[in-house]
Amino acid sequence: MDMRRKCVAILGIRGSGKSNTAKVITKELIQSGIPVTIIDPDGEYIKSFEEFGVMPVNSGTDPITQAVNDHRNGNSGIIDMSEWKEDNFEYLLSYISTLWEISRSLPSDRFIVVEEAHEFVPQNRRDPIGDVLTRIALRGRKRGLGMILVSQRSAKVNKDVLTQSEFYYLHKVVHPADLKVYKEILPIRQKEIERVIPSLQVGEAIYYSNGVMKYVKVPLFEESLSELNPMKEMAEI
């Protein structure tokens, strides 16, 4: 499953296992030598990726210098917003914009993981952070950039970005507005979606990419650590 330079969407209600799925994929990317930058509003990633040497991106540094250094050195980093004393969206904007700019002349592979993607790439509002993330999602390929969008509000994520994704992990949703988004993505009957999706268990998802659809059971991140290629091992359920 070559996800390099692609856009991956991981959707589902709270507690359905999205972040776990994102972590398993992120780990795979790091292990295959692709650095990641994680936008982490709730500080869920630091502990998980400590042992991979992924450092927090320190909002006390100059974001431009930091992003240039990180990209040149192929560093992974976590923008842990839970540590911020006050909202510092200018830091985030500056860091991400710099990655976008520098990747023009230095198109080495990198993934941006966006947790709570509906907050950063929303459907009904335009702002500079959303604009640069949209640009990366839609035009990042030539510059080596891929993206993982994670959201519990499928219907509130920018549609253009969401529908351009090449890989989907669709966890449980129940709300009609979210089911409607799934109906736009999946090539199966609406009734089938209404039957299957709300009854998915934690960690179960419908994987869909390029015409191929299957049920998957994602391993727990902690348990996937010893496996070389857990996503390939996903059992069909």
Ligand X SMILES: Nc1ncnc2c1ncn2[C@@H]1O[C@H](COP(=O)(O)OP(=O)(O)O)[C@@H](O)[C@H]1O
Q: Which of 81, 137, 147, 218 binds ligand X (CB under 6 A)?
A: 218
**Which of the listed partners (ligand X, Mg ion, none) does 176 bind, with a CB threshold of 5 to 8 Å by partner kind?**
none
CA–CA gap between residue 231 and residue 46 (Å, rounded)? 22
Q: Does 220 bind ligand X (CB under 6 A)?
A: yes
Centre a 10 Å sphere on the Cβ of residue 33 and count the other Cβ atoms it contains: 8
Do residues 91 and 59 lie in contact, with contact meaning Cβ atoms separated by under 8 Å?
Answer: yes
Q: Which of 5, 6, 18, 27 binds ligand X (CB under 6 A)?
A: 18
| H or E stretch covering 128 | helix 128-139
- Enumerate residues 13-72 that contact Mg ion by CB under 5 A: 19
Q: How far apart are CA 79 and CA 233, in angstroms?
A: 30
Q: Which two tokens stand for residue 76?
A: 């992974």
104 touches ligand X (CB under 6 A):
no
Q: Give min distance, CB of 171 to ligand X, in A.
A: 6
37 vs 151 by CB, closer to Mg ion: 151
Q: Check residue 230 for interaction with ligand X (CB under 6 A).
A: no
Does residue 151 bind Mg ion (CB under 5 A)?
A: no
| Smallest separation, CB 147 to ligand X (Å) | 17
Minimum distance of ligand X from residue 36's CB (angstroms): 17
Residue pair 79/92 in contact (Cβ under 8 Å)? The answer is yes
For Mg ion, which is the closer residue by CB, 19 or 224? Answer: 19
CB of 22 to ligand X, least distance (A): 8
**How many residues of this chain bind ligand X (CB under 6 A)?**
12
The entry of Mg ion, ligand X, none that residue 16 binds, CB within 5 to 8 Å by partner kind: ligand X
| Residue 63 backbone zone (phi > 0: left; psi -120 to 50: alpha; other: beta) | alpha
Q: What residue type is 215 in one-letter code? A: Y
Number of C-beta neighbours around residue 187 at 10 A: 8
- The closest alpha carbon to 55, from 31, 34, 33, 38, belongs to 38
Residues in contact with ligand X by CB under 6 A are: 12, 14-20, 202-203, 218, 220
